[in-house]
Amino acid sequence: MHLKQPNTAVETATSTDLPQTSTEPMPLVILGSTSSFRKQLLKKLHLDFVQIAPDIDETPFKGETPKEMVNRLSLKKAQEIANNQPNAIIIASDQTAVFNELPVGKPHSVENAIKQLSDFSGHCITFYTGLVVINTATQKTYQTMDITKVYFRELSENVIRNYIEIEQPLNCAGSFKSEGLGITLFKRIESNDPNALIGLPLIQLTDFFYQMGYPLPSQPVR
């Protein structure tokens, strides 16, 4: 498949900069994930879509960096669904967080959650969010990665315990929910797309739809 990297430069759009709009109707849009968070994010673009869970092995390769893993798994998820969808736009994403050059896992217990947030206090963790779109009608693949840095406040044990008791983030990587009360733990966030931290970079996804000839928002169905 042809890999097409997005242009990340910020340019002033002119009439010659605008891509041509496809004369073909938009194919079926498939979100390659059963995540409720990604579903809600994609709904913001007012697209009709279905969700299909990709059946792949997500075990990291030996010696693979977190960035390499995210790129590989994003592409693998999209390709697995594309194999059975001859006329569709498949959207797939993968995400991992890194602290002190090590992947951040899920705590699964209150004690582990307290330790994770105590370690993050006053420090930064980095989220890598991969995005792949495959248009099987044109056999083109679009791939990119968002890098988001989350800087934590100095967190007291009391604040950490209060947060964990209220939000119960025991099945969340890093022991927090950025889309919820977890935002109170942050000092600042550095990102090109505020949606990426939750799991789907919508700005870059919109860029891909433009490149495919489907500028968003599309004309509403009347």
User: Which of the residues are catalytic?
Assistant: 94
Residue 95 near residue 141 (C-beta atoms within 8 A): no
The Cα 155–Cα 119 span in angstroms is 10
For residue 54, whether the previous peptide bond is cis, meaning omega lies within 30 degrees of 0, is no
Backbone angles phi and psi of 58, in degrees to 5: -100, 15
* Nearest by Cα to 33 from 141, 146, 171, 129: 129
> E strand or H helix at 126, and its extent?
strand 124-135
Cα–Cα distance measured from residue 98 to residue 174, given in angstroms and rounded to the nearest whole number: 9
Residue with tokens 């030996």: 62
Compute the Cα dihedral for 173, 72, 145, 80 and give only its sign: negative
Contact (CB, 8 A) for 63 and 71: no
What is the spatial distance between Cα 140 and Cα 78, in angstroms, rounded to a whole number? 12
